[in-house]
Amino acid sequence: MRSILVALTLGTAAATIAYAHGLDEAGPGRTVGTLTCRTNPDLGLVLGQTRGAACHLVTADGQRQGYAALLPPGTDGEGARTLTWRVTTADGRLRPGLLVGRFSGDGAVLRGERADLAPIDAMGENRLRLAADEARVTLGAR
């Protein structure tokens, strides 16, 4: 009888730990994918000091979303540059327009309304504004 009670107690404890671990994994900070932006120095000539970039969010299973970005001024004479962030959300799911909006932070993490960006190769960047880069369709008369 005593061994059955010990087994039930250990089983309950193991199930509780497994359940709690599952809750931690579903909490904030689940990775969605990687955002890579390539700055365009020629666009900066048109917009003034602001740097423009073309960006792509790519998930582990190959889904892609395109974005256009505006970044704060960079160093003088800066050419084209590639910037990369890890994208995280509360549930780790990709949604249409997930990254549309403003991101700001201390450079360690840029926080947005629906997602956070952790720099992989974008140190020193503390602001970013993203807009959806939707496919454009040209309509004409026949």
3-state secondary structure 99-135: CCEEEEECCCCEECCCCEEEECCCCCCCEEEEEECCC
Residue identified by tokens 């599952």 is: 22
End-to-end Cα distance, the chain: 86
Structure tokens at 19: 């359940």
**Between residues 88 and 1, the one the model is more confident about:** 88
pLDDT tens track for 33-84: 999 999 876 654 444 567 888 999 999 999 999 999 988 876 555 678 899 9
